[in-house]
Structure formats: C-alpha cells, structure tokens
Structure 1
Amino acid sequence: MKAALEWQIACGADESILDAPVDRTVVVSDPPEAKPSLAQSPMAMSTLLDVDAVAVSRDMAAAAPDLDALRAAMEAYDHCELKRGARQLVFADGVPGARVMIVGEAPGREEDLQGKPFVGPAGQLLDLMFRQIGLLRSSPDTERALYITNVLPWRPPQNRDPLPEEMAMMLPFLERHVELADPELIVASGNHACMALLGQRGITRLRGNWTTAFGRPVLPMFHPSYLLRTPEAKREAWADLLSLKARLRT
C-alpha cells in the first residue's frame, strides 16, 4: 500500500478530491454510449447549445459595478472547467486603488489553498523584490501599495499552462478588474500575462519594454517562479524594478 501511494504521488496525484478512494488498477469495460443529458457539465452544455462563453463573461463582467460584485460574478460563472477542479476562486490581494497592479498567470497549489495570489515561494520572492522599491501589498497608503491578481482565478490541474480558450473566456473579467481597481501602471508577470494583456509572448524579448494595455502603461517582467529556476535572470528583473520606480516618480 505504501509503494502504491508513493507511485501515485510520483505520478502527480498529490491531493484527494473525492470522498471515497477510486481503484485505478481495476480494468473496467467501456460503458455503453449514452445520449447527452441536462446533467452534463456547463462546459459541455455550452458546446451543445452553442453558448458563447466569452460573450457570457463579457456581459457578466460589464454588469459588475464594483470589485465585490465582480468577484461574485466570477464565482457564479460556470463555463470554465477549471472551476470544478480547484478548491476555490483566487480573486486578488493587496489594496484596490494602488498605483501598481500586478497581473500574474494562474494560481498554484498554495494560492489554491489560501485563496490569495502569489503566496508560495514565488510570492515571497515577489514581495521581497517590490519591497526594495518601496511597494508593499499590505501598505495602507495607495502610493506605496500593490494590488495583485491573475489572468485565471482557478488553479489549472497539476499547474499546467493556461489554455488559450481559458484565457479568452476570463479576459473580460480581467479587463473589468483593471477598470474597477483603477491602477496607474500594470506589471505583466510572465508569458501568459503578456499573452492575455498584449497578445504577445516571448518574455525574454518583451521584458523591460514599456507598452500599453487597457489604456494603461504596462511593464512586462519575468515571473518570480522563473527567477527561482533561473537566478541569473534576477539582474534583468532588478533593472525592470528600477525602471518601474523611475516611472512612478514622474
């Protein structure tokens, strides 16, 4: 039993999501083909009924008058399959109205457990980095505060990369999130954040070059998790932080 458990963990099954165990070693015959029923998942029903998941998210996001309403709308959105595999929605952290808004990619395991973005090792590095230029997610002063969110509010299984269709259906929520949080500047942290905000990827080429998204200045930067894997890139990250600090002084 111990060896079987170790094998499951090695294969990536490090969390239980059912009330009772399932014996995956038993070979079962294929069940007879069944007709679609109304009990199918919302994603499957969206396909069957030709529901435009992006249009639904756009309408729900536009109807949210404030951040609390936006969070409730995202909680109620049922067209993203990630919602069914995640423990909870990870909405944001920090101070709404902060001059700087950081947009990451998607929650990881620790974020999924705690319900806040950037709280694992990458989050600790992010806090350390921005503290060096006087910005804190816990600061009550909006001049020195950070506001942090992700492109996706739910953890992808096994921390896989976000899929294009997942980012597309959540993008209207992100755009409305930016409007309501009203930052002066945005930091796009990592490739997927750049893809969502700028329609471009290639972070080694994009980083450090100011651009625009949602009508606001955007600075692409390496994701802290990349910096943990590639410490030599911290030199470029420090240059980007200094660029951000100089931009805030103007």
Structure 2
Amino acid sequence: MQTHPPADLSYDAALAALEWMFELGVTAPVGDAPINAYELPDRLAMPERAPAPEAAPERPARPVPVARVEDSVDVVAVARAAATKAKTLEDLREAIMGYGHCALKQGARNTVFADGNPKARVMLIGEAPGRDEDQQGKPFVGRAGQLLDKMLAAIGLDRASPDPLASVYITNVVPWRPPANREPEPAEIAQMLPFLARHVELIDPDLIVLMGNTACSAALGKRGITRLRGNWTEAFGRPALPMLHPANLFRAPANKRLVWEDLLELRARLNAP
C-alpha cells in the first residue's frame, strides 16, 4: 500500500524527512508497486509518448488558500504565556517541548534544551542545534562543540565542572535543528525569544556570552558579529560579550587570534572583584 505524506506537511518538515531518509540509505525513489530488481530486463523499454492534443486544455482556476487557525493566533503571545508560567528549568523544558507553533519542531528528532551547570556564573547562548546536537539532544556536541570545549578549557572553564566558578551553562536561541543547518529565520527567533528570556531569568548568570550573529540578533536586535565581538554590552539585563561562533574558525582560521582575545577578556571579567 502506498503511503502519501499529509497534505499540510510543511516545507521544512518535508525537507527534514528527506534528509532523514538519505541518512538511512534511501537513495532511490519507489513507485506504486514493488519492483524486483533481479527480474528487470537489461534495458527498460521507454513508454511511447502520447500524441500532443490539438489544443491544450484550459487550466482549472487555482483554489483560494484557506487561512489556517494558526494564522490568526499570536504565536509569540502564546510562547510568552507559556514561558511566564515556568517556575523551574524542568517546567521550562516541558513548556518548550509542548509548544507546537514553531515549524522547526516538526522536522527535528530532539528538543535540544541545555547542557552544563545551572549554577554557573557564565551562560553561553548559541544559535541552533546542528545534526549531531539534534541526534544527541545536547547543544554544542559536534565539531564546533568540541572546539568550544577546548576554547573554554584554555581559560579554565568546563561545562561538566560541578564548581560554579569553573563551569558554564549552554543553550541555544532555538531548540530545534533548522533544515540543512540554515540560520533560524526572524519569525522563528521571535517565537522562541520569550523562552530564552525566561531561561536567562531562571539561570540568573553573572555574565552572558553571545555566540554568533543569531544570538546577537535575538538578545541585542543587532547583527554584524565581526563588529560586535569583543565589546561588552547588556543582554537580558546582564553584562554580555558577543563572540565569534566556533564554526567560524573552520572557515576563517585567522580569526583564532580574535577569539583568544575575547576569551582572555571573559577570563579577566570573571577574575575581577
């Protein structure tokens, strides 16, 4: 029996499903009936082309799209109400997992909430999960995450440390992987911003590190990380330091010097009385 995708399957969900099938090794399309490859002739006969009609039939009028119920819902207000009700981190995790208005959730394997020590002085905010993060359900565990751990270790910080003075707490602007690892769109950031703001309130860090343009866009309303990096500012009512995302260093290794300067600045701020 042939299975058809639901008619309301979104573009992001369809693309995520296609990527998932390719990861499983599905690389050939299947028709309406099963095919035994061992019984195929050496060369399949091409079907005869039907003669062209004398006049092309008139195309039916395109149906007028019907507005979905969600189109009339203020999804940001829904997110804000859900985030406000969260009194603990576990409440917030459940609120995010129960939020069904962001299309990214439909194509994600896991909700990537956070990692690290909730009592840490430093809260690090990235942009969105990648493939490895989506599979493992934790932020910054792929190639960029491994580099981040080395960067933090260079200034005496470790996400696994039980000591609040030597640990970090890590989360992302959005908790679901965008298709093909694209950047989150402004509407997606706006939907998840109330959850991020509540996340910061519950952790109550001394300092925030904004990793990359998406984090700066969400927390500061600004982009241009090469201009913003290294300059202390304020986000969610706390001192914040924009910094290049570790993935940037794979594309531009020369920027390692800039990142090292920012790490030393972060260490100096933590050491200050």
Under a length normalisation based on structure 1, what TM-score does the superposition of the two structures give?
Answer: 0.85
State the one-letter code of the partner of 2:139. Answer: P
**Corresponding residue number in structure 2 for 1:4:** none
Structure 2 unpaired stretches of 5+: 1-14, 33-59
Shift of 1:81: 0.4
Q: Which residue of 2 aligns with 1:75?
A: 97
Report Cα offsets for 1:24-45 as digits up to 9, x if no partner.
899xxx9x959759xxxxxx43
The 2-side partners of 1:221 and 1:197 are apart by 13
For 2:237, the equivalent position in structure 1 comes to 215
Runs of 4+ in 1 over 3 A off after TM superposition: 11-14, 21-26, 32-37
- Does 1:184 find its partner at 2:206? yes
Is 2:51 aligned against 1:46? no
Q: 1:24 and 1:235, CA in 2 relative to 1: closer, same or farther beyond 3 A?
A: farther
Unaligned runs of 5+ in 1: 1-10, 38-43
- Find the counterpart in structure 2 of residue 16 from structure 1: 21
Counterpart check, 1:137 vs 2:142 = no
Matched residues, percent identical?
58
- CA pair 235-53 structure 1, distance change in 2 beyond 3 A: same
Name the structure 1 match of 2:133: 111
Let me know the Cα RMSD of the aligned residues.
Answer: 2.5
Q: Distance in 2 between matches of 1:205 and 1:182?
A: 27
Which of 92, 110, 113 does residue 88 from structure 1 map onto? 110
Please tell me whether residue 247 in structure 1 is matched to residue 252 in structure 2: no
One-letter amino acid matched to 1:227: L
Work out which of the residue numbers 146, 149, 159 in structure 1 matches 2:181. 159
- Structure 1 or 2, whichever has the larger Rg, is 2
Q: 1:23 to 1:36 in 2, by over 3 A?
A: farther
- Structure 2: distance between partners of 1:165 and 1:14: 23
Alignment partners' CA distance in 2, 1:136 and 1:45? 46
- Aligned partners of 2:79 and 2:163: how far apart in 1? 32
What SS does the aligned partner of 1:15 have?
Answer: helix
Relative to the length of structure 2, the TM-score reads 0.78
**Cα deviation per residue 1:157-183 (whole Å; 9 max; x = unaligned)?**
011111000000100000000010111
Give the drift of 1:97: 1.5
Relative to structure 1, is the Cα distance of residues 157 and 239 closer, same or farther in structure 2, using a 3 angstrom cutoff? same
- Structure 1 distance, partners of 2:162, 2:120, is 9
Residue aligning to 2:258: 236
Distance 2:264 2:81 in 1: 39
Question: How many aligned residue pairs are there?
Answer: 227
